[in-house]
Amino acid sequence: MHLLLHFHLLFELNYVSPITPCLHQAPYPPTMDDKFYYAYIIASRSRTLYIGITSDLSKRVFQHKRKTYEGFSATYNCNRLIWFERFGDVTQAIQREKQLKGWSRLKKIRLIESHNPTWENLSAEWHPSLSPTSPHPS
């Protein structure tokens, strides 16, 4: 069964696995109503990596794109969602974030490329008003 179709079926049945692996393409921006937590990796165009967790992946990606908060991801222009994993429990998401942060860069790249070999921005269509071809929102 195609991975996206499988994901949609699981989502419609309201099945929550403690760990859902990263999807190659995110079918829609997850929302707070989903009651999930996400460990995620965003990258700059030059492939500088930032690892974080959130309960609202769409909102957090928007914040990275808008550079809402000063810090590492804003300084290094990390705003392309390239990998994420969904959890039903915040403790598991935090553990995964800590695990990923402890990995070597090579191991992180292998994880990313095992799910997203071209480093495609998985959230490219979530916020079309922020795309490079669209005018910047006021």
**Each residue's pLDDT tens digit, 51-106:** 999 999 999 999 988 888 889 998 998 999 999 999 999 999 999 999 999 999 99
Q: How far apart are CA 92 and CA 86, in angstroms?
A: 10
Residue 75 domain-assigned (yes or no): yes
Please state the pTM of the whole predicted model. 0.71
Query: Does a structural domain hold residue 69?
Result: yes
Q: Phi/psi class of residue 35: alpha, beta or left (left: φ > 0; alpha: ψ in -120 to 50)?
A: left
Domain region containing 55: 20-126
For residue 78, is it within any domain? yes
Indicate whether 96 belongs to any domain.
Answer: yes
CATH number at residue 45: 3.40.1440.10
* Residues 89, 95: Cα–Cα separation, whole Å: 10
The predicted-structure confidence for 27-48, as pLDDT tens digits, reads as follows 455 554 558 999 999 999 999 9
Is residue 9 in a domain?
A: no
Domain for residue 43, yes or no? yes
Domains held by the chain: number: 1
